[in-house]
Structure 1
């Protein structure tokens, strides 16, 4: 029998079996399962771009898209805040905003115009790029090339990271011991200062992540969702951390989920503290500190991340080379670490001016 006859009979047999399954489970359910298993070829025909999309519809799609759902938690919160600000602005100009009406260079320019701070403007522009790119591609099969000029993202390279002075750190630690949740706040500060970890890494620290035998804690580094990486910790901070865990969770050490408990938590280790809880704690300490000037108490000056900068700066002052600091901070690129050298320049100027010969004046000789 020719091959084509055998193939024809196989097709008939397969068709009968598929028909039986569709009749048994219902055609809609059968097709739904096939789609879930990616066994139905995608439609490659070009669909006609949408003609009219409301801003609300665009926003709903964006928040369900991979462009948003795959962002880090902190970025999601920031983008939701930015979206709220943008929607509020749009509603002032349109009764029922249409996406295409707000997706123009003049309108976007008028939205960004009042923002004078370069870094703040860049953050808003970065959000708008992500949002508009996602929606334009989905509904209109367009890109944002025409909007890039008005949505320019620039980073002020002259802006150096802000670090606390040792005097300021001493006062913050003293104040932390006097307030509410003093033991917890005291340990949080020393964990930051003894490791240089980020806020997101500290708040998600679990009991099982503390490794005394290797003097490490395991943290979920920036951009890593699948696994944790080791971060060295000073002996003093490690001892404090262990004492805190013993104080908080020593009575439930035998529980099967003991190692999964979050170290810093408000509900017995079930979930971690919120970012804002730690940020507010430090902000209150900064506000109380007499060694911190009013100018440095303003928003975007000194913050939780300044503790990471302080960790790096103090290492430089102690003579540790940038390559070692890069490893301790877990920077992928040395250029990220070298920015602290600029901070160190100010320290070198202060040190050299303390030289015994630095106080001499030219007039003493002429």
Structure 2
């Protein structure tokens, strides 16, 4: 398991979330094998693995959960085979269910404006929160990328940030309001918040250390409640809204792909489906003969 973890981290360059998910899936399989069979991870055959997947389905696991488990097992046993820990790969018959693709939830332009207006710039936290939300909507970066930003990744005079993605770094422009919010935070607020003069993190918590994903989650849920927005907002909602709003206003999908850091254009094309669905909904509601 330790070697597999090192392989995912150092060779495949998987994100920490992916690594954690894969390892959790493998441990759950190991527990199942121990409780229900005489096999272990190294000796399990196709029959045991197929029975495990059927057991997951019969216990109400979602299509997405089962599909991810299958992906985890295929990666794990592929690793074992390539490193000669097993003689053959027993995952050949595991086929994920076809899931109906869910379109991401996005906010309307008015809802975005309402959310961004919630942080009150009366204390350091308010200035920081406004800068975080403005930057997130201005650039469409992932929350993991947002909290990983360092102070050296921001070029205020050029109005861009340097974002280190999973495979490569990308430069993303910001609109003027985001630049202003960041300028105020960096010049006047951050120096008061950091715990140590050599702190590199762009955004820090009340202890003066790098903001966590969980901390940002609580922050955005709090502002959702204050704004009275009934839609379910996740840390990715502003990212989805950024992409959809750019597409609605005529941005080239390849430019959006570059800014989002998608390796495959198919990941970006989901926003085309989203915009098309919204236009159809508007048509059905507004056209007198619809």
Considering the TM-score relative to the shorter chain, is it more than 0.5? yes
Q: Choose from 304, 311, 315 the match for 2:242.
A: 311
Partner residue, 2:107? 164
Q: Is the Cα contact below 8 Å between 2:120 and 2:127 reproduced in 1?
A: yes
Partner of 2:208: helix, strand, or coil? coil
Residues 1-366 of structure 1 aligned to structure 2 (within 5 Å): 59-63=1-5, 65-69=6-10, 70-93=13-36, 97=40, 99-101=42-44, 104-113=48-57, 114-144=59-89, 146-150=90-94, 152-153=95-96, 156=99, 158-177=101-120, 181-224=125-168, 228-250=169-191, 257=198, 261-266=200-205, 267-268=207-208, 272-286=210-224, 290-293=228-231, 297=232, 302-352=233-283, 358-359=287-288
In structure 2, relative to structure 1, the CA distance for the partners of 1:165 and 1:86 (3 Å cut) is: farther
**Which runs of no fewer than 5 residues in structure 1 stay unpaired?**
1-58, 362-366
- Could you state the TM-score of these two structures normalised by the residue count of structure 1? 0.65
- Could you state the TM-score of these two structures normalised by the residue count of structure 2? 0.79
In structure 2, relative to structure 1, the CA distance for the partners of 1:148 and 1:101 (3 Å cut) is: closer
1:249 is displaced (CA, Å) by 3.5
CA-to-aligned-CA distance 1:216-274 (integer Å, 9 cap, x gap): 100102323xxx32111111111111211123334699x984xx7111123535xx322
1:76 is displaced (CA, Å) by 2.1
Distance across 2 between alignment mates of 1:343 and 1:353? 15
Name which structure has the greater RCO, CA cutoff 8 Å, separation 6+: 2
Q: Is the Cα contact below 8 Å between 1:67 and 1:130 reproduced in 2?
A: no
1:149 is displaced (CA, Å) by 2.2
**Which runs of no fewer than 5 residues in structure 2 stay unpaired?**
none
In structure 2, relative to structure 1, the CA distance for the partners of 1:277 and 1:334 (3 Å cut) is: same
Distance across 2 between alignment mates of 1:98 and 1:320? 49
CA-to-aligned-CA distance 1:196-216 (integer Å, 9 cap, x gap): 111222111111111123211
1:157 is displaced (CA, Å) by 5.6
Q: Radius of gyration: which is bigger?
A: 1
Q: Is the Cα contact below 8 Å between 2:77 and 2:91 reproduced in 1?
A: no
1:123 is displaced (CA, Å) by 1.3
| Aligned residue-pair number | 283
